[in-house]
Structure 1
């Protein structure tokens, strides 16, 4: 998956092209209150961030997450041996839902007596040969998880979700969680990078009769 960074804007003040640069510079020399005001403004922003959390600047992180800059893929791969010990035979049929699903599925398929499928909630851009092969074999697909999943009930013993629920609205989160529980027969493991109010709703999965782990 390609990762594009949002380009920073040109610094007009540094280049001297900003028409009011000299005026601001003159004002800063003549008014020491301007420096104090900037310090106070910075302090207020830090306080707002501390109390508001990452969600205050969620817009920028939405872009970064979609482009693949912030994912839990590495954590998922490192957790596979731990999950195998915890779930034992229930690791035989696994569905991974999230970005970089081809990498996760490829790793899971290397485990003995393990079948794995992947569901990518975002478009797969610049997929490599391995990912294209998984798609051709029907082991990986792209689907919008805000709608019913294209699987029968209890199709998988374990469902692993990463970076797929963090930015769903409560409306779609309440639809997607039961769907994930529906296709899992033994367990549901959720990796989340930006905990918030949505995490509390995971506790409601108990009424669907599926154990859930949030990592």
Structure 2
């Protein structure tokens, strides 16, 4: 039944009885093409907006991560670097970062004046860009399993930062990794870890991480740090909170400030 009006219109147009029908069809076709074109342009502008932002590809990944419901504490650490700089001041002159996408963190740290930076990538580097591969060749960033002793001397760095790495370790391996962070640092350790209930590793990532993230509460971490004889750095905590308030910064991950071993 629905096809008859269209067939009738074509027969009348072809017969010449209604010469304006062809014009109406032509305008309708043009209108449809215009609508499709506007949709395509809108999609392109939206993708461009995602890629723009303040941090290029990193901002894009951060936005996409939020849309998908996941949280990357490594990207959160990068967002927090200006606040950490205010909190730690000169103690950020020689920094080691441990966690995935360490090349991006190191690259951002090296942009800071009077700051040296190194990185440990605990997982295989997939699709690493030219800058990252250059860091690896120079030994600035290393691929190493953090369940084993770190390849650095005691107190090699003023500050050690870790993100998206400890969440994937069982207490058995945390017992080995955390003391290593304290051993190679002289002025403190900053730990970025996820909140319980946050979406972290997707199914496709399990082959890389080996296990899903174990997101623990702040009380669990505080008890664990106490058991490992790692003291909280109250001075750094206070300065971090003050700097966060001034910048209206609210972390999307848990942030712990610890003292190094004496």
User: Fold-level match, TM-score > 0.5?
Assistant: yes
For 2:225, the equivalent position in structure 1 comes to 202
- Displacement of 1:80: 0.6
- Displacement of 1:210: 7.5
| Corresponding residue pairs, total | 147
For 2:145, the equivalent position in structure 1 comes to 144
Per-residue displacement from partner, 1:54-109 (whole Å, max 9, x unpaired)?
xxxxxxxxxxxxxxx75212211111111111111100000000001000000000
CA RMSD, Structure 1 to Structure 2 (Å) = 2.1
> Residues 78-93 of structure 1 correspond to what in structure 2 (within 5 A)?
78-93=79-94
Q: Contact between 2:225 and 2:231, CA under 8 Å: does it hold in 1?
A: no
> Residues 1-215 of structure 1 correspond to what in structure 2 (within 5 A)?
70-194=71-195, 195-196=215-216, 199=221, 200-205=223-228, 207-208=229-230, 211=233, 215=255
TM-score by length of 2: 0.52
Per-residue displacement from partner, 1:155-193 (whole Å, max 9, x unpaired)?
000000001100211111111110111001001000001
- Displacement of 1:116: 0.1
* SS at structure 1 position matched to 2:167: coil
TM-score by length of 1: 0.63
**Separation of aligned partners in 1, 2:193 and 2:226:** 14
**Separation of aligned partners in 2, 1:178 and 1:134:** 26
Q: Give the direction of change, closer, same or farther, for the CA distance of 1:111–1:204 in structure 2 (3 Å limit).
A: farther
Question: Which 5+ residue runs of structure 1 have no aligned equivalent?
Answer: 1-68
Q: Contact between 2:96 and 2:157, CA under 8 Å: does it hold in 1?
A: yes
Q: Give the direction of change, closer, same or farther, for the CA distance of 1:148–1:210 in structure 2 (3 Å limit).
A: farther
Q: Contact between 2:163 and 2:191, CA under 8 Å: does it hold in 1?
A: yes
Q: Which has more radius of gyration?
A: 2
